[in-house]
Chains A and B, each alone.
Chain A
């Protein structure tokens, strides 16, 4: 299985968990296909199948307090506590895996800068493509590391053996509405390109 692999450099980013409730907003450490595909669509205008994760040990989770302003009343609503990722050292690094397709060229990503995730207006989510590679990955059995739409799994050469499901948001074509679609979540037992597996480790269960 061949992917286009992008190495991203990021200053700070919030990819919120769908879990909300109350005033606390946790963030996640994977880059779901819904988030990266949405960002690429916004910047390149193309439907590109992609998924990713942040490189361990390059980030730490920190907390931000902010308050949404009620523009009508000119008052601040209840404060919200949001988690965000900050660099552990210089930059947060992320790996993005893109399914190669004849409809676009790899050169498209050269020097690309885009924003992804939440609170972009407050400066979060600026991503810079630092490196582009085309790499081939072996397909083996293991535990999934990423979150991606179930109906896109085949494009990534992922076969679910024992899935863990969750939901990711898929906007409609006008980006004003959409639906929650079933997705494969981390720790699902799958057959997949090794790079998308936890610890990049192969497992040996019967099917």
Chain B
């Protein structure tokens, strides 16, 4: 058996299907490559050996019919596909479906004419016009355009990075060797990560907003979920073959998927209804992991470590079903027969509950926003849409996976004081003469020990500041939808007409940009902690166990309160936000926020946590126990912090002004008094409507010592 034969025994790797999207345009034109697949590439002419591994057949995933009538296309009945494919019909069939599904998760469909602008067909003037509108200084449109960081690709190019990986003839040979020799999808994603993150999944506007990395990762996952649930092709009595999933046999992709839209008005204003029902259905589930526990003592926050550990278990055991996850949110793609309770069983045992929104639909219409679209159609009684959805048996459930709870509990033993759900142990946890009744699981969590020594030893009697970064996935979805709509308006004008604009806006699917956004969020947190890694007075309470391949929980931190450190933390957050999310909202619409909660060290951690969970509404939220509670947009906090170094302030006089304003509620009075005594604060009030109280709160937090 020669090397090539050994390679041929390798697996069908779905991730390789779009490898051609990493080929530079100049190389493509030199070798006459059209599109991003190589089924028509003349291997003999260029003296390159054609790949022959199973993955090679993935190149046929977008095969169209040539003029010759004997040819075939992927939409045809599988029995009419080329005989060369006979060993890989199932794989190619499922790859096509996975590719459609991943694309529909990632961008605007339906695939209708006039819905996009092919950037390769735009001349330089046209391209410049669009780039100018987007405030990007490149000469042509290339690379990904992240909605929250439109200049991302431009900055990468300035740093010497470029989207294409394959730029020379030798590279082309390497590409074909990769198709034959690649060992796994993970290897492929790892090797080409940098380029895959710079390259959009589809270069046409407005689809160029999601990374090829995320698209390929999704295709790989969906493909493997499907292939696990699809047996070998079935031979029918008429000697034709069918592909069966969930006991539904089909011969064409359209039969499996159904129409890939619900209903929309086309460019002539005619209502199109996607009434063709698909035979194959699957589930898309958004899972929010809730912590009903009340953290009484510091070791109780080990529960967050347990949460990381349990999420890690799910990611390992259901690797392909987990499309993406954060520390408290998971998106699952599941076939109909998988038990959701089983997946989250361990979470329930530890008292977490999971709030799920589950959508069941034909593969042709299943997407990350189908839940909201279906609920909206029902609420607004959009009869056409509701009828199509009902006809296609679309369901949206809200499920709460809750630990088993007994009907009643006697007074003794008590209900666990931490999880509030289970009977406590018969003996109390005794500390400093206080008896606490907790259940065996919460006891175990507590026994995991103090997350860090300083809190109870060195920092005794000090003031501390707990802080937490959060990302709100609902807000993120909303922000992406509105930002995509702005993007469409920005690139659409008299020259570049995007037809059916409203349909594209309405049909925008957020999942892939959401994944890319979350990826950047994690990078931002990593960089934040890198900055403070030598800061003795700052701790990350939940550290990963590297032996279990876990990652640190980077959202939560605590430091011994000082004005300088507080200021440094806020400034660093603003700086990193500017770096990773310069085009994202930074007010109460911001999907990302930082919350600070300052108190004496004895103030219960539960209440810091409660604050983080409930009042994270603005870009920056601050609770200074028994002093103030306030929130700030990025603009507000930056303006205030900029004024503080130059503002020697009499706090008592400012108090007086604020008190008078609150008593009289008179803008006139406020204006006069500020103008007289506090010029800087007056400027903030007059020009930016920042109330003096907001200034005073921050002043006391970060610069209160410089009294006039």
- A residues sitting closer than 8 Å to B (CB atoms) are 18-24, 26, 63, 78, 150, 161-167, 177-182, 187-189, 202-206
- Other A-B contacts than A18-B420, A19-B420, A63-B626, 16 sampled, CB-CB below 8 A, are A19-B294, A21-B418, A24-B607, A164-B402, A166-B420, A167-B415, A178-B411, A179-B408, A181-B408, A182-B408, A188-B400, A203-B375, A204-B378, A204-B379, A204-B396, A206-B395
Write out, one digit per residue, whether chain B residues 405-417 have a CB within 8 A of any chain A CB (1) or not (0).
Answer: 1111111000101
26 A-B pairs within 8 Å (CB atoms) are namely A18-B420, A19-B420, A21-B294, A21-B417, A21-B436, A22-B297, A22-B436, A24-B606, A26-B606, A162-B399, A163-B402, A164-B400, A165-B421, A166-B421, A167-B415, A177-B411, A180-B408, A180-B415, A181-B407, A182-B406, A182-B408, A187-B355, A189-B398, A203-B398, A204-B374, A204-B396
| Complexed CA–CA distance, A164 and B297 (Å) | 25
- By Cβ-Cβ distance, the 6 closest A-B pairs, closest first, are A21-B296, A204-B378, A21-B417, A180-B409, A19-B294, A165-B405
- Closest-by-CB residue of B relative to A166 is B420
The reply to whether the CB of B397 lies closer than 8 angstroms to some CB of chain A is: yes
Q: Is B114 among interface residues, defined by CB-CB distance under 8 A?
A: no
In the complex, whether B699 has a CB less than 8 A from a CB of chain A is: no
Closest-by-CB residue of B relative to A183 is B405
B1 touches A (CB below 8 Å): no
User: Contacts A21-B417, A22-B434 given: A205-B398 contact, CB under 8 Å?
Assistant: yes
Interface centre among A78, A181, A205 (most CB of B within 10 A): A205
Known: A19-B420, A24-B606. A163 touches B415 (CB 8 A): no
- Which partner residue on chain A sits nearest B603 by CB separation? A24
The yes or no answer to B604 lying at the interface (CB within 8 A) is yes
Collect the chain B residues with CB atoms within 8 Å of residue A167's CB: 409, 415, 420
**Cβ–Cβ < 8 Å partners of B375 in chain A:** 203-205
Taking CB as reference atom, which chain A residue is nearest B418? A21
Docked CA distance A166–B292 (Å): 10
- What is the minimal beta-carbon distance from B597 to any residue of chain A, in angstroms? 14
Q: Chain B interface residue count: which class?
A: 35 or more
- Which residues of chain A have C-beta atoms less than 8 A from B296's C-beta? 21-22
CB of B400 within 8 A of CB of A162, answer: yes
Task: Check if A23 sits within 8 Å of B434, measured CB to CB.
Answer: yes
Q: Cβ of B553 < 8 Å from any Cβ of A?
A: no
Chain A residue nearest to B294 in the complex (CB) = A19
Query: In whole Å, how far is B431's beta carbon from the nearest beta carbon of chain A?
Result: 9
* B148 contacts the other chain (CB 8 A): no
Taking the nearest CB of chain B, how far is it from the CB of A72, in angstroms?
16
Q: Which residues does chain B contribute within 8 Å of A179, judged by CB atoms?
A: 408-411
Q: Are A20 and B604 in contact (CB under 8 A)?
A: no
Tell which of A19, A162, A164, A166 has the most Cβ of chain B within 10 Å.
A19
CB of B353 within 8 A of chain A? yes
Distance (Å) between the CB of B371 and the closest chain A CB?
9
**Most chain B beta-carbon neighbours within 10 Å: one of A150, A179, A206:** A206
Cα distance A19–B436 in the bound complex, in angstroms: 11
Per-residue A-contact encoding for B68-108, CB less than 8 Å = 1, 0 else: 00000000000000000000000000000000000000000
Within 8 A of A (CB), among B583-627: 603-604, 606-607, 610, 626
| Contact present for A206 and B410 (CB under 8 Å) | no
In the bound assembly, the distance between CA atoms of A26 and B606 in angstroms comes to 10
Q: How far is the CB of A149 from chain B (nearest CB, A)?
A: 10
Chain B interfacial positions (CB closer than 8 Å to A): 294, 296-297, 353, 355, 374-375, 378-379, 395-400, 402, 405-411, 415, 417-418, 420-421, 433-434, 436, 603-604, 606-607, 610, 626
CB-CB under 8 A from B418, the residues of chain A are: 21
- Which of B378, B398, B407, B610 is the one whose CB lies under 8 Å from A182? B407
Q: Which of A26, A150, A180 contacts B607 (CB 8 A)?
A: A26
Q: A20 near B417 (CB under 8 angstroms)?
A: yes
CB distance from A97 to the nearest CB of B (A): 24
Contact of B402 among A22, A63, A165 (CB under 8 A): A165
Which residues in B have their C-beta under 8 angstroms from that of A26? 606-607, 610
A185 closest partner in B (C-beta): B292
A13 to B463, CA, bound (A): 30
Chain B residues, CB < 8 A from A202: 379
A35 smallest CB distance to B (angstroms):
17
CA distance A137 to B606 in the complex (A): 37
B434 — which chain A residues lie within 8 A by C-beta? 22-23, 78
Q: Is the CB of A164 within 8 A of B353?
A: yes
Contact of B411 among A19, A20, A21, A180 (CB under 8 A): A180
Q: Whole-angstrom distance from the CB of A198 to the nearest CB of chain B?
A: 13
B607 contacts A18, C-beta separation under 8 Å: no
Chain B residues within 8 Å of A21, by CB: 294, 296, 417-418, 436
- Complex: how many Å from CA A206 to CA B296? 38
Which interface residue of B374, B398, B411, B421 has the most chain A CB atoms within 10 A? B398
Q: Which residues of A contact B610 (CB under 8 A)?
A: 26
A182: nearest chain-B partner, CB-CB? B407
**Chain A residues near B626 (CB-CB < 8 A):** 63
Output the nearest chain A residue to B605 by Cβ-Cβ distance.
Answer: A22
Report the separation of the CA atoms of residues A187 and B399 in the bound assembly, to the nearest whole angstrom.
11
- On whether the beta carbons of A205 and B379 are closer than 8 Å, the reply is no
* A60–B607 alpha-carbon span in the complex (Å): 16
Closest to B378 in A: A204
Instruction: Answer whether A189 and B400 are a contact pair too, CB < 8 Å, given A22-B297, A166-B420.
Output: yes
Q: How far is the CA of A27 from the CA of B353 in the complex (A)?
A: 22
Cα(A2)–Cα(B346), bound, Å: 43
Determine the distance from Cα of A69 to Cα of B393 in the docked complex, in whole angstroms. Answer: 65
Closest Cβ–Cβ distance, residue B336 to chain A (whole Å)? 14
Measured CB to CB, the closest approach of chain B to A200, in angstroms, equals 14
- Bound form: Cα–Cα A24–B406 in Å: 27
Q: Shortest distance in angstroms between A83's beta carbon and chain B's nearest beta carbon?
A: 9
Q: Which residues of B contact A162 (CB under 8 A)?
A: 397-400
A24–B297 Cα distance when bound, in Å, is 12
A19 to B604, CA, bound (A): 12
Q: How far is the CB of A140 from chain B (nearest CB, A)?
A: 11
**Bound: A202/B380 CA distance, A:** 12
**Cα–Cα, bound, A206→B527 (Å):** 43
Give, as a whole number of angstroms, the nearest-CB distance from A110 to chain B.
Answer: 36
Bound: A167/B294 CA distance, A: 15
Q: Are A19 and B408 in contact (CB under 8 A)?
A: no
In the complex, what distance in Å separates the CA atom of A157 from the CA atom of B527? 53
Alpha-carbon separation in the docked complex, A161 to B402 (Å): 13
CA of A18 to CA of B416 in the docked complex: distance in angstroms?
A: 10
Shortest distance from the beta carbon of A80 to any chain B beta carbon, whole Å: 11
A205 touches which of B397, B420, B607 (Cβ 8 Å): B397
Q: How far is the CB of A135 from chain B (nearest CB, A)?
A: 24
Query: What's the minimum C-beta distance from A109 to chain B, rounded to whole angstroms?
Result: 30
Known: A21-B294, A22-B296, A167-B415. A205 touches B396 (CB 8 A): yes
State how many angstroms separate the Cβ of B63 from the closest Cβ of chain A: 38
* A21–B418 alpha-carbon span in the complex (Å): 8
CB contacts (< 8 Å) of B353 on chain A: these are 164
- Specify the chain A residue showing the minimal Cβ separation from B410: A179
B536 to chain A, nearest CB (A): 28
Residues of chain B within 8 A (CB-CB) of A78 are 433-434
Q: Which residues of A contact B405 (CB under 8 A)?
A: 165, 182
Which B residues touch A164, using CB under 8 A? Answer: 353, 400, 402
Q: Using Cβ atoms and an 8 Å threshold, which residues of chain A touch B402?
A: 163-165
Kindly state the separation between the CA atoms of A128 and B417 in the bound complex, as whole angstroms. Answer: 33
Closest B residue, CB atoms, query A83: B607
**How many Å from the CB of A171 to the closest CB on chain B?**
10
The complex places the Cα of A63 from the Cα of B201 at a distance, in Å, of 54
* Nearest neighbor of A162 in chain B, beta-carbon distance: B400
